[in-house]
Structure 1
Amino acid sequence: MAGAIAAIYALGIIERDFLGETGAAMLVASMGASAVLLFAVPHGALSQPWPVLGGHIVSAVVGVACAKFVADQMLAAALAVGLAILAMHYLRAIHPPGGATALTAVIGGQQIEDLGFTFVVTPVLLNAFALVAAAVLLNAAFTWRRYPAAWSAVTRKPPAPDEAPSMTHADFVAALSEIGTFVDVSEDEFLTLRKLMRDAAAQRRIKSAEIVLGAYYSNGAAGGAFAVRRVIDTDQSDVNGAVIWRCVAGAGRNDTGVSSREDFAQWASYEVVRSGSAWLPSTSAPAIAAMDGDVGALPTSSAVTMAGR
């Protein structure tokens, strides 16, 4: 927020000298929309330097051309916005505030009209460059949101694989002896049960397209391996994009990281919500999820008994 305030105030001072009060107010509106993208979603596809600089510049060129060569101002304004969108699309520089820049070039007043194509360089290019520079500097203090996205200092790290050692029949018997329970199943039957539990958990896992910005997810692990991560930045429109997350509970608390959406989905078992001091599944999740790889999670009240076969 502080970054956006400082950047827009500085741009307003610059523009007032070139465009007068009316023109400055209109162009500040355009740059203000850009500031929302750069400081609120710095890793978004529309927030990167090329869309910001390219989008504003090409839109300014289109807007000035329409103002010069189309006599009817309303038609010129409509053409400026439409052609700016087309130009940004083909240049792969889609930046929505660019449409406002094109419109400002047409209806911004006599001072903007007098500037002609100089308007493209000063103040549009100057302001867009200053805004990008401010975003680079002011986001640099936060390692997980450095701008542009390619400069993020956080290494992409996929969730750690399950490091729990494989379980043997002797381990199973030893664990049950600790809790005084006797289970009447063979080793093969138990391993089959465990496989079915794994399959059920896999079917319940989050899909990459279902990951939502701001939501909390748990790995569903038992004991000290349990963790909850919050998605603090992601591009919802890019199913192959990155997820920036922060661990808010459990193992690795306060860690931040960047994972691909697919890697994050592999780590996450289900979405959770906070209820007091506890984290609960946001939808109904089978209680056996916590049993995977953790014999100690078996309920001691189970009616099953074990024969040492």
Structure 2
Amino acid sequence: MGASATLLFAVPHAALSQPWPVLGGHLLSALAGVICAQTLGDTALAAGCTVGAAIAAMLVFRCIHPPGGATALTAVLGGSAIHDLGFHYIIMPVLVNTLALLLLAMFINFFFPWRRYPAAFNRPASPPSAPSSCTPGEPTHEEVIAALRSLDSFVDVTEEDLLRLLALLRPAPDVSTTGSS
């Protein structure tokens, strides 16, 4: 949970720090860890398999949260106190601690308008308008989504941030030619 806290308080607007990756990443990783700990006899094999399974689950459910790997490993390497919890490990301590951390991040970051958490709460007063499909040379919503998916890798940027970046990169209108003579 320490690595998650670092992400939530140091980079609250990163895609890896948003509620779904944090919650889904920890819960799926805990599930993978408990399953591997209970079904695989060899600790080294279970440790390797649980991290691989946790990563695969986070990729499938689009909730990449690297600290989830530690959550999965803890289920395997945590000793008898953790093993005795079985599937309850997913609820307590993982779910309870993750929810507490998310609520604390929302509360603390609320006092800083530039750091509102989650990122959806941190919208600028007047966001740039999304590119229109009728403006030549600018991507449509579908083109942006297709381009992000075609990269075949995880890109730590939201569509809104990418569109905002594109809007900022547009050349400003030349005021010297638009003024009256």
Fold-level match, TM-score > 0.5? yes
1:46 aligns with 2:32: no
Select the residue among 57, 64, 78 that pairs with 1:87.
57
After TM superposition, list the pairs within 5 Å mapping 1:186-201 onto structure 2.
none
Secondary structure, aligned partner of 1:293: helix
Shift of 1:43: 1.3
Change (3 A) 1:156 1:44: farther
Q: Which residue of 2 aligns with 1:211?
A: none
Change (3 A) 1:239 1:140: closer
After TM superposition, list the pairs within 5 Å mapping 1:1-309 onto structure 2.
31-158=1-128, 237-238=156-157, 240-242=159-161, 260-266=164-170, 293=176
Shift of 1:147: 0.6
> What code does the residue aligned with 2:100 have?
A
> What code does the residue aligned with 1:262 have?
L
Change (3 A) 1:89 1:156: farther
Shift of 1:40: 1.4
The answer to which structure has the higher helix fraction is 2
Shift of 1:145: 1.6
Change (3 A) 1:156 1:74: farther
> What code does the residue aligned with 1:242 have?
D
Paired residues of 1:37 and 1:47 also in contact (CA < 8 A)? yes
Alpha-carbon distance between aligned partners in 2 of 1:91 and 1:119, rounded to the nearest angstrom: 21
| Alignment RMSD | 2.3
Change (3 A) 1:123 1:267: farther
Paired residues of 1:240 and 1:261 also in contact (CA < 8 A)? no
Change (3 A) 1:141 1:125: same
Change (3 A) 1:261 1:239: farther
The answer to which structure has the higher strand fraction is 1
Provide the identity percentage.
52
Q: State which structure, 1 or 2, has the greater radius of gyration over its C-alpha atoms.
A: 1
Change (3 A) 1:94 1:237: closer
Alpha-carbon distance between aligned partners in 2 of 1:40 and 1:115, rounded to the nearest angstrom: 32
Secondary structure, aligned partner of 1:115: coil
Paired residues of 2:14 and 2:156 also in contact (CA < 8 A)? no
TM-score by length of 1: 0.45
Shift of 1:42: 1.1
Q: Which residue of 1 aligns with 2:138?
A: none
With a CA cutoff of 8 Å and minimum separation of 6, indicate the structure with the bigger relative contact order: 2
Shift of 1:261: 0.3
> What code does the residue aligned with 1:134 have?
L
Paired residues of 2:16 and 2:156 also in contact (CA < 8 A)? no
Secondary structure, aligned partner of 2:84: helix
Alpha-carbon distance between aligned partners in 2 of 1:59 and 1:146, rounded to the nearest angstrom: 27
Secondary structure, aligned partner of 1:111: helix
Alpha-carbon distance between aligned partners in 2 of 1:127 and 1:239, rounded to the nearest angstrom: 26
Q: Which residue of 1 aligns with 2:143?
A: none
Q: Which residue of 1 aligns with 2:147?
A: none
Change (3 A) 1:54 1:155: same
Shift of 1:293: 2.8
Secondary structure, aligned partner of 1:82: helix
> What code does the residue aligned with 1:264 have?
L
> What code does the residue aligned with 1:238 have?
V
